[in-house]
Structure 1
Amino acid sequence: MSDPSGQSSFIQPVLVFCGAAAVAVPLFRRLGLGAIIGYLVAGVAIGPYALGLFATPETITGVAEIGVVLLLFIVGLELKLSHLWSMRRDIFGLGLAQLAITGILVAAVAVAVGVPAKGAAVAGAALSLSATAIALQILNERGELQTPYGQRSFAVLLFQDLSIVPILAAVPLMANVVSADAGGLAERLANAGKAIGAIVALVLIGRYLLNPFFRVLASSGAREVLTAAALLVVLGAALLMEEAGFSMAMGAFVAGVLLAESNFRHQLEADIEPFRGLLLGLFFMSVGMSLDLRLVLEQAAVLALATAALVGGKIAIVSALARLSGSSWTDALRAGALLATAGEFAFVLLPLAGTLGVLSATHAQLLIAVAALSMLVAPLAAKLLDMILVRAGAARPLIDEDVEGDRNASDQSSVIVIGFGRFGQVVNQVLLAEAVDVTVIDLDVNRIRQATRFGFQVYYGDGTRLDVLHAAGTGRARVVCVCVDHAETATRIVELLHAEFPRVRTYVRAYDRVHAIELMHMQVDYQLRETFRSALSFGRATLEALGIDPERAAEVEEDVRKRDIARLVLQGEGGLLDGADLLHGATVTPEPLMAPKFKSKALTAETRDLIAMDGDGS
């Protein structure tokens, strides 16, 4: 039996977190301030400096940071290597300029107010970074990650993550903890080799092992194992990069980029998404809990001035740089507001500098408070700025995160085909013949392997799962073609599509006549029985083989088709017995659409008996 005390100590903080989030997030969303502010305020409220419901926020920091790791993995899944290469100018140009200029100006201000030069340099580096989790979450809520300003903002964040390694290495050097002798040089070379080796290992594993690995697991049919494997890949890559001196978030991002072309991309995103949302919320709450309200009250004037100067200064610097890089003033201001916060690594760099004596304890505490307050103030500034731009007519209104129909993304397909069996393969060939951008989803690993050999891009995923449909970009598609083999599965998918994506047109493969009528009642945009037209063509070809004039055979085919459509409409409005006037005879199934020209003729005694019995009963 488990220890009751241990069980209680585990359940209580979970209840506190869930309760705080359930109250604060809907409230702040209703006020139009967004989920991030709700999480931050909830963290402040339950933290040790307010209600004291959670006394040790540092104990959850490690778990909470996994939310940032999973967020970067999902962002990586949406970026192909070619797209990442096309962003190199913004990453190494705009990103480097932002970090350098902001860091120098913050350090200069710190020196002016009495912070020693080494400590000021650390403060400049820490506060020039931006909160990746907050910026990307805001972009995701708006659906604007793929917009020009969203991509430029992400490029700056990516360069900041790359710069964390040398910044972390420089802090001990400032404190003279690491000597510059030959031994120190050898150690640094060894660390550099370890970092390069980790990157190479991650690239090789992602290139040659991950797809076969997921293919084997998918073949087992155990979905929970695939979810566990997804977490294994993300956390394993994060840990590998951390051991090599990089950030865990960077490792997860690289893993995501390597899997961006994988057939399992959408299923992986769907499996990771629930963990990402929960843990990212926990991360924001942990930031709120770290805010020392006593220090804020004691140094209110200083902290208010410092926070306003940091947020305002970063908005001005990023906006000016983005404008010089070719952005419009509207996009430049939005990018500046997104990147105005201090970064998550400020909570790593500043305590480290305080421990090593590079910063005094007082300066470190004040700077940590400024970093935390910027995370609270900057999202509010971003919201206010957007409201001003919208009212001024310089920007379109923000899109609510629950409405996806009008979002634009460069990597989203205009058509999604669910099911890659015999029917779906032909549909896909027709679409690709006109260079239509198609995303195909199927749950059969063998079909995926076969499709890859023919150049089709088919993703592993269950079309009856709403999270998979979201991950595939269904809300941004123009048409969804449901081509699965089973009627019940197709009906379930249509129900999901109509409930969650009402703007998307649904084209559905019907299994038989009854299923076609059911789909008509569900008001799909188009339905087609899988064998009807092929059977018509087959019948016409048979008539021609018997010597009937091709024009007459085509007329017969068209007449049968029109009779069938008319009867199908009547059956859809009434029941299966409606449209009987189009039939000749009382039998409903099979249903002749035209009067037979010849009387039935028995070939055996048993058949004669059956025909006689049928005649008696008619």
Structure 2
Amino acid sequence: MQEQHAFPFLREILLFLVLSGILIPTLQRLRINQVVGFLAVGTLVGPFGLGLLASDIPWLAFLTFPRGEGISMLAEIGVLFLMFMIGLELSAARLWAMRRWVFGAGTAQVVASAVLIGAALLLSRQLDTQAAVIIGLLLSLSSTAVVMQLLAQQQATGTPLGQATFAILMLQDLAVVPILLLIGALGHGGGAGDGDGVAMLALMTLAKAAAAIALIYLVGGRVVHKLFRSFAEHRQPDVFMALILLSTFGIAGLSAAAGLSMALGAMIAGLLLAETEFKHEVELMVEPFKGLLMGLFFMSVGMSIDTRQVLDAPLLLAACVAGLVLVKAAVVAVLLRAGGLPWGRAVEGGLLLGQGGEFAFVAVGYAVTSQVLDPVLGGRVMLVVGLTLFITPMLARLGRAIGDRSDSSRHALAASQDEHQLASARGRIVIAGFGRVGQQLAKLLGEQNIPFVAFECDAKLVSSLHAQGKPVYFGNASRPELLRRVHAGEAPAIVLTMDHPGSALQAVRGIRREFPHVPLFVRSRDEKHARALRLAGASVVVPETLEASLQLSAFVLEAMGLDERLVDGIVDHERDLFAAKLLEPERPA
């Protein structure tokens, strides 16, 4: 009994890990959306599912969660990492590259959806203005986790529809900040008394919160950047992970101390790291835990869905779900069509974004705690959002069928007037290693207006170059998962300029295994190293010793009076001979 007190909720933790170990690979094998799967399992084994029978069937208590408290603490950690990952995606460069869609279509979608939903709630005469405004804003947001996973399954993230959808989701994620601030302001206002007084108090609370966020962002940005730059030199994964956790929980704690939500602080931590050269490395460190923590969060959400409410008012809930999907789908479809997408794809995007978002579960709990929303009303909102998440895969398949039928030619979609703008973050040459050779290559590419992105393991060098606005990030490019972050599979070329022969060979093998069709240009130390790189899959290998000798020979031959074109032909012939020699089997010594 003493051990149970020392390690509370051990049974719940073990049960969750067992369910995750079975559920995650099963969902992947069946190609079922993981968010929907965790929601369903949470509903099934939660206190309103099989947990209701635990008191009558004792052994069922070991396979269910009769009380939600057992997992709520871990679910809070899942919420923090959810908000942290959202902030990590919202880099200023990414927002600016798709500014027309993000700030144009995204803002219009949130405002129009919130106004229509809020107006419908007011006309029903069931809610006051404050509740209608909050619920309208919350239901205007869609699920980034569900939509992006569905787009990835359809291999549609790089299409004009996928990029436009992602841009709208980015704005929705940005809208989280003012919505949380508004809920906090209304909570401090108490929702009672003179309307002008409440409005003035809300504005004062918002101003104080905005000042606190600005202070945390400015001071925290300098501290976090210096911490990562100082400790990244050691290149120890455990130190790097400790810094990520310190940044997330530390800034979340500062946010709570300032009277804001911890979820908002975690999002600010992600935003701070998104502006540094360590962004991609942070994503890789968090990735193994992301699915587990997200699953924990969504399973806890499923446990909060009271299935008895569905049985009590099935027609009302069905009408609310259908109304929400129709309103949001119509708004998004009109905006996507105005942005240049064909009607079929616009309708597909509308159905894809028609559901409620996972942030609603976070914000509803915050609103109920702040006494902005009634607990019963908050439960109904969460139930409607949960049900829309369940039907999203079906809506996505319906939208895909409509889009495919109306869009008879893929080339018409590729010629969309916005595709080039939406795909501006893709198609960059990837440079691995940013020493003298990498910097010279980047200089020549920049002069020809050819976009590139580079990775380098020297933290000091990366920090210096990143501060100059150059697209250089900290990370080891021999890790294919890091290259996937910058869409290396769509790159015109990958160039390896690493000094260390072993690292270059390891990188070539990994890249060629993951990206078999991308041209791969590699710098080698000598002929033996060049042969190994060529056999490992490098498209072109350039040995340092060969190029130095060829250039020196060319200068000597020209000084002896040979024609420049003849010298160029001699040098090119020697290069061809060397390239052919690399493919020959190595003779034993």
Q: What is the TM-score normalised by the length of structure 1?
A: 0.77
- Listed one character per residue, the Cα deviations across residues 184-232 of structure 1 (whole Å, up to 9, x for unaligned) are 8896566334312223224423664444332212223333322322333
CA RMSD of aligned residues (A): 4.0
Check whether the contact 2:75–2:293 (CA below 8 A) recurs between aligned residues: no
Q: Tell me whether 1:575 sits opposite 2:586 in the alignment.
A: yes
The residue type paired with residue 550 of structure 2 is L
- Counterpart of 2:281 in structure 1 is 267
Q: Tell me whether 1:221 sits opposite 2:235 in the alignment.
A: yes
Q: 1:439 to 1:117 in 2, by over 3 A?
A: closer
Alignment of 1:188-587 (within 5 A): 191-205=205-219, 208-241=222-255, 243-244=257-258, 248=262, 250-320=264-334, 322-323=336-337, 328-344=342-358, 346-347=360-361, 363-393=377-407, 409-448=423-462, 451=465, 456-542=470-556, 548-551=560-563, 562=573, 565-566=576-577, 569-570=580-581, 572-576=583-587
Check whether the contact 1:543–1:553 (CA below 8 A) recurs between aligned residues: no
SS class of match (1:420): coil
The residue type paired with residue 154 of structure 1 is M
- Counterpart of 1:134 in structure 2 is 146
The residue type paired with residue 99 of structure 1 is A
Check whether the contact 2:141–2:357 (CA below 8 A) recurs between aligned residues: yes
Deviates more, 1:499-508 or 1:226-235: 226-235
Check whether the contact 1:21–1:42 (CA below 8 A) recurs between aligned residues: no
Q: Kindly state the Cα deviation for residue 287 of structure 1 after the two structures are TM-superposed.
A: 1.7
Structure 1 gap segments, 5+ residues each: 398-405, 578-587, 589-618
SS class of match (2:583): helix
- Counterpart of 1:21 in structure 2 is 20
Q: 1:312 to 1:265 in 2, by over 3 A?
A: same
- Counterpart of 2:415 in structure 1 is none
Q: Kindly state the Cα deviation for residue 94 of structure 1 after the two structures are TM-superposed.
A: 3.5
Q: Tell me whether 1:34 sits opposite 2:46 in the alignment.
A: no
Greater share of helix: 2
- How far apart, CA to CA, are the structure 2 residues paired with 1:3 and 1:463? 49
SS class of match (1:508): strand
SS class of match (1:21): helix
- Counterpart of 2:164 in structure 1 is 148
- Listed one character per residue, the Cα deviations across residues 581-618 of structure 1 (whole Å, up to 9, x for unaligned) are xxxxxxx7xxxxxxxxxxxxxxxxxxxxxxxxxxxxxx
- Counterpart of 2:48 in structure 1 is 49
- How far apart, CA to CA, are the structure 1 residues paired with 2:534 and 2:22? 42
Q: Tell me whether 1:105 sits opposite 2:120 in the alignment.
A: yes
SS class of match (1:417): strand
Q: State the identity %.
A: 28
- How far apart, CA to CA, are the structure 1 residues paired with 2:447 and 2:502? 30
SS class of match (1:147): helix
SS class of match (1:216): helix
- How far apart, CA to CA, are the structure 1 residues paired with 2:366 and 2:460? 52
Deviates more, 1:432-441 or 1:7-16: 7-16
- How far apart, CA to CA, are the structure 2 residues paired with 1:326 and 1:425? 39
- Counterpart of 2:59 in structure 1 is none
- How far apart, CA to CA, are the structure 2 residues paired with 1:324 and 1:274? 39
- Counterpart of 1:169 in structure 2 is 185
The residue type paired with residue 168 of structure 2 is R
Deviates more, 1:23-32 or 1:473-482: 23-32
- Listed one character per residue, the Cα deviations across residues 419-460 of structure 1 (whole Å, up to 9, x for unaligned) are 122332332233223221111111113433564687743221
SS class of match (2:311): helix
- Counterpart of 1:591 in structure 2 is none
Q: What is the TM-score normalised by the length of structure 2?
A: 0.81
- Number of aligned residue pairs: 561
Q: 1:249 to 1:322 in 2, by over 3 A?
A: farther
Check whether the contact 1:67–1:275 (CA below 8 A) recurs between aligned residues: no
- Listed one character per residue, the Cα deviations across residues 533-571 of structure 1 (whole Å, up to 9, x for unaligned) are 2112224445667xx44459966x966874675476356
- Listed one character per residue, the Cα deviations across residues 249-299 of structure 1 (whole Å, up to 9, x for unaligned) are 555555545554533232233233333333222222222222222333343
Q: 1:137 to 1:181 in 2, by over 3 A?
A: same
- Structure index of larger Rg: 1
The residue type paired with residue 436 of structure 1 is I
Q: 1:273 to 1:300 in 2, by over 3 A?
A: same
The residue type paired with residue 498 of structure 2 is V
- How far apart, CA to CA, are the structure 2 residues paired with 1:13 and 1:563? 69
Q: Kindly state the Cα deviation for residue 151 of structure 1 after the two structures are TM-superposed.
A: 1.5
Alignment of 1:43-82 (within 5 A): 43-52=42-51, 53-55=64-66, 56=68, 57-77=71-91, 79-80=93-94, 82=96
- How far apart, CA to CA, are the structure 2 residues paired with 1:506 and 1:363? 58
Check whether the contact 1:68–1:280 (CA below 8 A) recurs between aligned residues: yes
- Listed one character per residue, the Cα deviations across residues 19-55 of structure 1 (whole Å, up to 9, x for unaligned) are 3334444444454442322222232233233344223
